[in-house]
């Protein structure tokens, strides 16, 4: 797997810190489709859409949004980020992403996770006390659905399936990644099933997450999988501009507004001091903010620690205006991606395209 770079977005609806006005739901969705179109044109590998079920986020049906992106793009892979599998039906998830895969010509992915936003559990009638158990059972069913049709299955938390015909069927096995925010049990779950790991690093020094990647590879080997064949993705916030100061000046007010308004515990957001934001944007911090060269340096430094195969940036959190977002995407695709791919290919002895 050559090194990949991509973008993920939650579709947050944040009041503009300069005008006090939030974007419309329609406007935000159209902006996201345009962002995916440009990301495809500049050669990025992945565009991923998150799933939330509150009015301060616009993406509650990521497969629908990704299908709209599929019609405006040609090569870029399209993924959830994440599918909150614990509060969804794996049969419907499979059907939706099989449909997306067929429409897009084999470009769909699923990043499955338990989710840190809990609104979907009461909305769809699930018990939060079964938070982890729901995810484990439903993940196993989703993986079975990829392999079998018709399918007979039974579990504790969902009605059984008996010789069920689940359609449509994709023309390939849709990749399923497991999203992890730093919980060892989640790391082990991905390793024991031989699934790629998407590690979210959204604060602190990234090096402190190295033990999670080491644990993942150790447990995968113990389960009989080749760790070198299981890719790891590092997913973190970031934003690019021609200079490092411009990147901070443009993105910081929106990031701070997003952390205040769109925090996973509604009404409990918090202010991020500019000094803390700048520190997180340093070479050792979690955020990929800066000039193209700074982002290149950060990705290569993280690769020294993790040996990962994919870097996905939550770009412009808090709704950075579209003009600046498109410029950031362009810089990532034209100035960062070629350099990073070439350098990592040289490190690992791979061939570049």
Question: Residue 221 belongs to a domain with what CATH number?
Answer: 3.20.20.30
- Among 12, 45, 4, smallest CA distance to 264 is for 12
Looking at residue 231, its pLDDT comes to: 97
Torsion of CA 91, 97, 99, 103, to 10 degrees: 180
* Partner residues linked to 110 by β-bridges: 176
Looking at residue 351, its pLDDT comes to: 54
Looking at residue 267, its pLDDT comes to: 85
In the chain, how many domains are there?
A: 1
In a domain, 353, yes or no: no
Q: Are strands 161-164 and 151-153 parallel, antiparallel or unpaired?
A: antiparallel
- Residues of the chain short of pLDDT 50, as ranges, are 353
In a domain, 229, yes or no: yes
- Among 209, 328, 203, smallest CA distance to 270 is for 203
In a domain, 138, yes or no: yes
Looking at residue 262, its pLDDT comes to: 95
Q: Are 302 and 206 in contact (CB under 8 A)?
A: yes
In a domain, 68, yes or no: yes
In a domain, 265, yes or no: yes
Contacts of residues 156-164 at CB distance under 8 Å and 24 or more positions apart, as own/partner, are: 157/130, 157/133, 158/89, 158/90, 161/91, 164/91
Looking at residue 153, its pLDDT comes to: 98
With a CB cutoff of 8 Å and minimum separation 6, the contacts of 7 are 35, 39, 44, 46, 47, 48, 312, 313, 314, 315, 329, 332
- Among 82, 108, 84, smallest CA distance to 95 is for 108
**Tokens linked to 49:** 């859409």
In a domain, 108, yes or no: yes
Question: Can you give the residue range of the structural domain that contains 124?
Answer: 4-348
CA distance 228 to 225: 9
Distance of CA 239 to the CA centre of its chain: 15
Torsion sign, CA atoms 329, 332, 338, 344: negative
- Among 65, 171, 181, smallest CA distance to 115 is for 181
CA distance 280 to 128: 32
Question: What's the pTM?
Answer: 0.96
CA distance 337 to 172: 27
């Amino acid at each position: 797997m050559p090194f990949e770079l991509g973008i993920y977005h939650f579709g947050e609806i944040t009041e503009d810190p300069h005008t006090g006005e939030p974007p419309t739901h329609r406007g935000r969705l159209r902006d996201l489709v345009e962002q995916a179109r440009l990301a495809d044109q500049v050669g990025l590998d992945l565009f991923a859409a998150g799933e939330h079920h509150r009015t301060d986020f616009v993406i509650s049906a990521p497969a629908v949004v990704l299908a709209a992106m599929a019609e405006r793009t040609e090569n870029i892979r399209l993924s959830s980020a994440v599918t909150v599998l614990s509060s969804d039906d794996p049969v419907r998830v499979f059907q939706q992403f099989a449909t997306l895969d067929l429409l897009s010509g084999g470009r769909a992915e699923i990043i499955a996770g338990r989710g840190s936003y809990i609104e979907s559990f009461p909305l769809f009638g699930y018990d939060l006390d079964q938070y982890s158990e729901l995810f484990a059972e439903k993940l196993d069913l989703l993986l079975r659905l990829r392999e079998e049709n018709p399918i007979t299955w039974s579990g504790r938390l969902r009605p059984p399936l008996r010789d069920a015909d689940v359609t449509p069927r994709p023309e390939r096995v849709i990749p399923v990644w497991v999203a992890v925010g730093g919980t060892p049990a989640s790391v082990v779950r991905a390793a024991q099933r031989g699934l790629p790991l998407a590690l979210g690093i959204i604060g602190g020094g990234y090096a402190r997450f190295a033990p999670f990647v080491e644990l993942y590879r150790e447990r995968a080997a113990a389960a009989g999988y080749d760790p070198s064949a299981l890719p790891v993705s590092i997913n973190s916030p970031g934003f690019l501009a021609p200079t490092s100061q411009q990147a901070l000046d443009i993105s910081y007010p929106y990031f701070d507004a997003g952390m205040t308004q769109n925090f996973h515990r509604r009404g409990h957001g918090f202010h991020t001091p500019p000094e803390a934001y700048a520190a997180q944007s340093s070479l050792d911090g979690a955020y990929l903010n800066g000039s193209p060269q700074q982002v290149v340096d950060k990705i290569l430094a993280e690769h020294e620690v993790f040996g990962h195969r994919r870097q996905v940036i939550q770009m412009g959190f808090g709704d950075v205006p579209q003009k600046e977002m498109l410029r950031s995407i362009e810089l990532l695709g034209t100035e960062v991606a070629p350099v990073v791919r070439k350098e990592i290919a040289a490190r690992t002895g791979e061939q570049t395209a």
